[in-house]
Amino acid sequence: MLDHGNGHLAESANGRAVGPDKTVANAVVQVTDLRKDYRLGADVVVHALRGVSMCVVPGEFVAIMGPSGSGKSTFMNLIGCLDRPTSGVYLLDGVDVTSLSPDKLAELRGSKLGFIFQGFNLLPRMDALENVMLPMMYGGVSGHERHERARAALQAVGLVDRASHRPSELSGGQQQRVAIARSLVNAPSVILADEPTGNLDSRTSTEIMGILQALNQAGATIVLVTHEPDIAGYCSRTVAFKDGLVVSDEPNRRIVSAADVMSGWPPSDEESA
């Protein structure tokens, strides 16, 4: 069990490594003994997370794996500041977010986090450029700059020529690229992606992973949920959840290059048209 230079690993009662037990200076995400209970009625409690400790440092591309119901989405919602833990500590860029007001939390979410979802979550009445500009609405960025930054983000995902297309005029893969551009546009500390290829065919999934790998190589820190080992193979570290706990946390020994995989393909209809 390697510790990625993230600090000492604590041992849980059953001898499994559960993550760092001390503060890591440059961690983007550091959670310690994070727990989340959902109360269903008077006497039923679901222990969705039962004490998760881990950290993510700048430049990592982390795959979160585990069976359905193991707590992956609960974990992502907590580190995305979309929900609050029942107990535990969460430091985002060194800031303890568990004590922040809802307003401060929303501000932090907008400036430090980028989100990519399985269902793209684009606004149907807005074109690609307007969708990408949305996260800058509350950041005090001038109209001109919003426009420039959104175009640059679309350029980074190879979609600037579709800037004026609405989501319904784009393929699933193109819609996800717009969503990736939107996640990037505020230069977040970390991009959180919950099953971003879950609605896409395998070829398009590889293209999306190629874009995420290129962004990661350019410095983006990414945490991605997947239940597909092939997809995790493009990431640099795999953290496995089971029953609300981290049961393994390993660097990937052989990272697959999506660009290499794609270089062996014949051109698609779209590219050759």
Ligand X SMILES: Nc1ncnc2c1ncn2[C@@H]1O[C@H](COP(=O)(O)OP(=O)(O)O)[C@@H](O)[C@H]1O
Q: Which helix (H) or strand (E) holds 39?
A: strand 29-40
Query: Which two structure tokens, joined as six digits, stand for 18?
Result: 């559960």
- In the chain, what is the straight-line distance between the N-terminal and C-terminal CA atoms, in Å? 49
Q: Which stretch binds ligand X (CB under 6 A): 65-73, 90-98, 104-112, 252-260?
A: 65-73
Residue whose CB is less far from ligand X, 72 or 182: 72
Confirm or reject binding of residue 72 to ligand X (CB under 6 A).
Answer: yes
Confirm or reject binding of residue 226 to Mg ion (CB under 5 A).
Answer: no
In order of 88, 146, 154, 190, the CA distances from 143 in angstroms are: 40, 5, 17, 25
By CB under 6 A, name the one of 28, 48, 132, 192 that touches ligand X.
Answer: 48
Using alpha carbons only, how large is the chain's radius of gyration in Å? 19
Confirm or reject binding of residue 197 to Mg ion (CB under 5 A).
Answer: no
By CB under 6 A, name the one of 71, 110, 135, 233 that touches ligand X.
Answer: 71
By CB under 6 A, the residues from 73 to 112 that bind ligand X are: 73-74
CB of 13 to ligand X, least distance (A): 21
Confirm or reject binding of residue 38 to ligand X (CB under 6 A).
Answer: yes
Question: Which is nearest to 132 in space by CA: 106, 114, 108?
Answer: 114
By CB under 5 A, name the one of 6, 32, 73, 204 that touches Mg ion.
Answer: 73
Among ligand X, Mg ion, none, partner that 69 touches (CB below 5 to 8 angstroms by kind): ligand X
Residue whose CB is less far from Mg ion, 72 or 146: 72
Q: What distance in Å separates the CA atoms of residue 106 and residue 112, rounded to the nearest whole number?
A: 10
By CB under 6 A, name the one of 3, 33, 59, 69 that touches ligand X.
Answer: 69
- Identity at 37, one-letter amino acid code: D
8-state DSSP, 209: H
Question: Do 259 and 213 meet the contact criterion of CB atoms below 8 Å apart?
Answer: yes
Question: Do 189 and 112 meet the contact criterion of CB atoms below 8 Å apart?
Answer: yes
Among Mg ion, ligand X, none, partner that 70 touches (CB below 5 to 8 angstroms by kind): ligand X
Question: Do 65 and 242 meet the contact criterion of CB atoms below 8 Å apart?
Answer: no
In order of 124, 138, 174, 176, the CA distances from 209 in angstroms are: 24, 29, 13, 11
By CB under 6 A, name the one of 70, 175, 186, 216 that touches ligand X.
Answer: 70
CB of 159 to Mg ion, least distance (A): 27
Q: Which stretch binds ligand X (CB under 6 A): 67-75, 164-172, 182-190, 204-212?
A: 67-75
Question: Which is nearest to 177 in space by CA: 189, 188, 190, 163?
Answer: 163
Q: Which stretch binds Mg ion (CB under 5 A): 39-47, 67-75, 121-129, 208-216?
A: 67-75
By CB under 6 A, name the one of 46, 123, 187, 259 that touches ligand X.
Answer: 46
Q: Which stretch binds ligand X (CB under 6 A): 3-11, 40-48, 84-92, 160-168?
A: 40-48
Helix axes 202-217, 172-184, angle to 10 degrees: 20
Applying CB under 6 A, which residues contact ligand X?
38, 40, 46, 48, 66, 68-74
Applying CB under 5 A, which residues contact Mg ion?
72-73
